Structures are given as C-alpha cells and as structure tokens.
Amino acid sequence: MSQNPRPLMRQDLRPARLAPGDVLRVGAVGLRARRARVVLSALGIAIGIATMVAVIGLSESSRADLMARLDRLGTNLLTAEAGKDAQGGRLKLPKNAVAMVERIGPVRQATASADVDARIRRSDVVPEERTAGVTTQAVRTDLLAALGGEVRTGRWLDRAGERLPVTVLGAVAAERLGVTRPGETIMMNDVRVVVVGVLEPLDLVPTLDRVAMVGFPAAERWFGFDGHPTTVFERSTDESVADVRAVLGRTLNPGDGAGVQVSRPSDALAAKAATDAGLTRLMLALGAVALLVGGVGVANTMVVSVLERRREIGLRRALGATRGAIRLQFVTESLLLSALGGTAGALLGSAATFGFARVQGWTPVVPPWALAGGLAATLVIGVVAGLYPAVRAARLDPTTALNAA
C-alpha cells in the first residue's frame, strides 16, 4: 500500500550555503569584470603597505649595520679631554697622562693625541690663511690600534716615522687637500711634510677624519709642541667601563677631576640609532596615512560596484540568495581586492629594502613580523572598507533592484 509523501512546508526549506571555494569564485568574478578599477584601487593599498614594509626593513637594516659596527669597534672606549679653566683657557693634561691611565687596573690599552699649532696648506704657493679646514694633531704610534682604525692607502706612523716630518691624513683631510696617494707633500707652517698614508673614516672618533697626524717627537722638534696631550683614549674590559669612567678624570687631574671631560664615543652611535628609530616611527605614520587613503579607495570602489550591480543583486535575491550570502559576496570582494594590493605592496617594499640596502652596503633585513603585520592590516582594511557596501547590497529589495535601469 503506497503512501502519499508529505507535502513540503515552508519550514522544511533550508537555504543552501555557499562553500568557501564558491565564495572565492563569486568574489573573484566581480573583480575580473572591472580590472582597471581594481588595479587602481589596489594600488593605493600597495603604496601604503610598500611604504611601511620598506621603512621597517631599511630601519632594521641600518640598525643591524650600526650594531655590527659597534660590535666590531667595541663599546669599551673612553676619551678624556682637557677642559677649560675659569678664564676659558684650555687646561693641560700631564705629559705622563698615558702612563697614569695605564695604572688603572681594568685598563687594557691607553694612548693619546694632542692639538698642534701648525697651519696646513696644500703647497707653499697657497696663502697661509687658506687652511682647507684641516688641523694638525700629534699622535702616538699605538693610536690607530686603540681606535680600531684602518689605513686606506700607504702606511701608519712607526717608530721611525714619528720622528720625521711625515704625516698621515684623515679621510676628510685628504679629500680637502686633494691628496690621492702617499708620497705627495703638504705644508705645515713653513715645513714641507710628506704624506705617508691616508686613513679610512674613523667611526668612533670622526673628528680625526679632518686632521693631519704627526708623531709626538716630530711635533716637538718641528712645530714647537710642548708634549702635553689634549685627549687620552683608553680601552678597558666591557664590564668595568662604568668604574673606569668614574675614576678617569680624577686620575688625570687629582686636584680637580671635574676639569677633565670624560665621554664614551659609542654613546653617539647609540644615540644615532635612537634618532633613526624616531624617524622610523614618523615614516610609519606616513605609511599608515597612505594605507588609510587606500582603504577609502577600496570602500569607494565597492560602493560604486554595488550601485552598478543592482540588477545582478536583485536577480540573485530572486533566485534564493540570502542577505547573508550577498553580504559575504561583497565582503569577500573587498578582502580579495585589499589582499591583492597588500601582497603587491609587501613584495614591492621587500624589493626596495633589498635594493637600497645593497647599494648602501648593508645586510638586507626584512622582519617577518613586518610582512605579517602588513598583510594583516590589509585584511582589516578589506573588512572595514567592504562592510558598508556589503550591508547596503544585502538590503536592496529584489523587485526594486530588478527594475533598476
């Protein structure tokens, strides 16, 4: 005996749900239909993400290079300079200042330099008042090793050279004087001096880049130097830098330790890193503004898309698509559009970082968190930018939408 099936009731009808793959395909169709507009909208997102990734990458690359230089040069170098008296005159450190500093237990190495009253000219036909901004200093032969410096061309002062009228030029001094190779001569006062070497830039003591250096004995013999050092450099163990710093001034001037100015050159490089970090934050803010503008462009594109596709939306609603399905379609389109721009921006920012870092001689560093954060930001932008157009599309009445021109 056959039984008639129970007729379907309204409550038995269940709207079909789109599978994730179907959602992506439906969202991609809307993008493929308006490619030019999609490219322009994605470009705004790409510029914002590329800016943020490149700023972070270049900042990290620069900081990594700076930290590598600090590790190579060491952070245990202290300098002690003679201060000024109440009348503004320059105080003098004792002639045996280096020996006094070497008696401090943790000190491993000590050396010194001194200002010398010698005017420098390229040749004897140049007027004495034209010094090219280069000064003269007397130095000990162990100065270069203590500072971790390197000779670009020629050689450094040795035991014989420190007694002769020869000089080693800092990198900037050689450039200003137009000296390109060892063996050329310059004038110090009325003494013709032979250039025996040119140094690479000294990161820890950049003031020496603008100096012509002669030995202590030569400065005393040829230029009336009195033998009192102006600056003492010392290196100690890393863990004892603070303790040495506390007693260095009193060691050099037992009567008035405050008359000696003690500094740590590596602090200047650390301060530079902090300054770079502040600039990075500023550039990130500019990148965020560009990303916000890109988000507005995405939202505008999606609103226009809803207006242009009212008949399509009405037809889908008439065929049974729920409001949730319509909302999901347009949010997915917005997410895909933002993800397209974010991916392009991340690639562009990474390429810019690698290219610029290579030109500067840095090791390129693009933190993974920067890429992940950039892509996450694009997804947030996509959801926010697509939410209003999606809700507006879902609220369209099917009959009204089908009758739209």
Q: Spell out the SS3 assignment of the chain.
A: CCCCCCCCCHHHCCCCCCCHHHHHHHHHHHHHCCHHHHHHHHHHHHHHHHHHHHHHHHHHHHHHHHHHHHHHHCCCEEEEEECECCCCCECCCCCCHHHHHHCCCCEEEEEEEEEECCCEECCCCCCCCCCCCCEEEEECCCHHHHHCCCEEEECCCCCCHHHCCEEEECHHHHHHHCCCCCCCEEEECCEEEEEEEEECCCCCCHHHHHEEEEEHHHHHHHCCCCCCCCEEEEEECHHHHHHHHHHHHHHHCCCCHHHEEEECCHHHHHHHHHHHHHHHHHHHHHHHHHHHHHHHHHHHHHHHHHHHCHHHHHHHHHCCCCHHHHHHHHHHHHHHHHHHHHHHHHHHHHHHHHHHHHHHCCCCCCCHHHHHHHHHHHHHHHHHHHHHHHHHHHCCCHHHHHCCC
Per-residue confidence of the chain (405 residues) as pLDDT tens digits? 455 665 655 555 565 566 676 667 766 776 776 777 778 778 878 888 888 888 888 877 877 777 676 666 667 888 888 777 666 667 788 899 899 988 888 888 999 999 999 989 888 777 766 777 899 999 999 999 888 889 999 999 999 999 999 999 999 999 999 998 899 999 998 899 999 999 999 877 888 999 999 999 999 999 999 999 999 998 887 778 788 888 888 888 776 656 788 877 766 556 555 555 555 666 667 667 767 777 777 777 777 777 777 777 777 777 777 788 788 887 888 888 888 888 888 899 899 989 988 888 888 888 888 888 888 888 888 888 888 877 877 787 777 666 654
